[in-house]
A = this chain, B = another copy of it.
Amino acid sequence: MAPTRPTRDPADTSLRAQVYESLRQALTAGRFRPGQKLTFRFVADALGVSLTPVREALRRLVAESAFEMQPNRSVRVPPMTRAKVLELRDIRMAVEGLAAEKAAANATRQQVAALRRTALEIAAARSRGDSATDREKVREFHFALYSIAEQPTLMRLIEGLWLQTGPYMNLLYPDFVSRPRGPQMRARVMRALQAHDAPAARAEIEDDIRQTLTYVADLADEQGNIRPAPPLASKPRGTFRATASLELH
């Protein structure tokens, strides 16, 4: 197996990559609202670079469906619709279920131990109400799990899917995550990995995704599509614009 070539190459120091990373992180952390519009020049000004690297970073994100190109002008975070969330749910169940299967076949004791450490960090963050690191560590858990499968192409696909669901995941806090469902699921997944029980690992991951995204979908028509979206143009036209701090690197 070739060494996993990551989508986000840490060795890439180009401005384009840094802009991409800034936007990606803001998106993953849910700092943009669905429907939010962005102009190229706004991003360029906010990050202090020229249009060139911004264009390439934004276009890449559009290619990954993290943003949508409006027919006329400008890009926006795709608005949330019930149909789309359900579509992403079914896709993620199929793809991440596959990854869980392959991971179960490969998993070593050390890898499961590392997962357990991350699970504890999630519990700690959650108990002190730190939803930011909660989200971050949940992501870390899932990707550490999938990386055990050692399938670079599959991994990139999943990263793309998470990028698309990212902006919606804010809706899970604080109500949904307070249920005991998450910790139980992680415990059962780790047990399945240890036993090399691929179908069980798949079933756990599928259940997790189904429950989570069904919950989000049920909120879709109420929230998310309500706000028409504040423009967020190049010049600070209004009084404030600190909606999302876009720091470089």
Tell me the minimal C-beta distance from A35 to chain B in angstroms.
14
27 A-B Cβ contacts within 8 A? A1-B83, A2-B81, A2-B83, A9-B71, A55-B56, A56-B56, A56-B59, A59-B59, A59-B60, A60-B60, A60-B63, A63-B63, A65-B153, A65-B156, A84-B153, A87-B151, A87-B152, A87-B154, A91-B98, A91-B153, A91-B154, A91-B157, A94-B94, A94-B95, A94-B97, A153-B164, A157-B157
Copies of this chain per assembly: 2
CA distance A164 to B160 in the complex (A): 15
Contact B11 A87 (CB under 8 A): no
Interface size of A by CB at 8 A reads 31
A59-100 interface mask toward B, CB cutoff 8 Å, 1 = contact, 0 = none? 110011100000100000000010110011011001101100
Docked CA distance A102–B87 (Å): 11
The CA of A148 and the CA of B124, in the complex, are separated in Å by 46
Residue in contact with A95 in the complex, picked from B59, B88, B91, CB distance below 8 Å? B91
